[in-house]
Amino acid sequence: MSNAIEVRDLVKTYATHDGTMLQALGPISVEVPSGGFMTIVGPSGCGKSTLLKLLAGLIPKSSGSIRVSGTEVTAPHPDIGMVFQSPVLLPWKTAIENVLLPARVLGLDMAQSRERALKLLAMVGLQDFADKYPKELSGGMQQRVAIARALIHDPSILMMDEPFGALDAMTRELMNVELLRIWHEAGKTIVFVTHSIPEAVFLATQVMVLSNRPGRIADMVDIDLPGSRTLDIMSTDAFGVFASRIRSQFNSQGLL
pLDDT digits (tens, 9 = 90+) for 141-176: 999 899 899 989 888 999 999 988 878 888 888 889
Structural domains of the chain, with CATH: 3-79+155-252 (3.40.50.300), 93-154 (no CATH)
Task: List CB contacts of 197: < 8 A, sequence separation 6 or more.
Answer: 41, 243, 246, 247
pLDDT band at 256 (very low <50, low <70, confident <90, very high): very low
Mean pLDDT, the chain, as a whole number? 90
Task: List CB contacts of 31: < 8 A, sequence separation 6 or more.
Answer: 3, 5, 6, 7
pLDDT digits (tens, 9 = 90+) for 85-123: 888 899 999 999 999 999 988 888 899 999 999 989 998
Strand blocks (E) in the chain: 3-15, 21-33, 37-41, 63-68, 71-72, 80-83, 157-161, 189-193, 206-210, 217-222
pLDDT band at 51 (very low <50, low <70, confident <90, very high): very high
Distance CA 124, CA 98 (A): 14
φ and ψ at 118, to 5 degrees? -65, -40
**For residues 50-79, average pLDDT:** 91
pLDDT band at 77 (very low <50, low <70, confident <90, very high): confident
Counting Cα atoms < 13 Å in the Cβ hemisphere of 131 gives 1
Any bridge partners for residue 219, and if so which?
209
CA dihedral 84, 86, 89, 94 (to 10 degrees): 100
Query: What does the pLDDT read at residue 254?
Result: 53
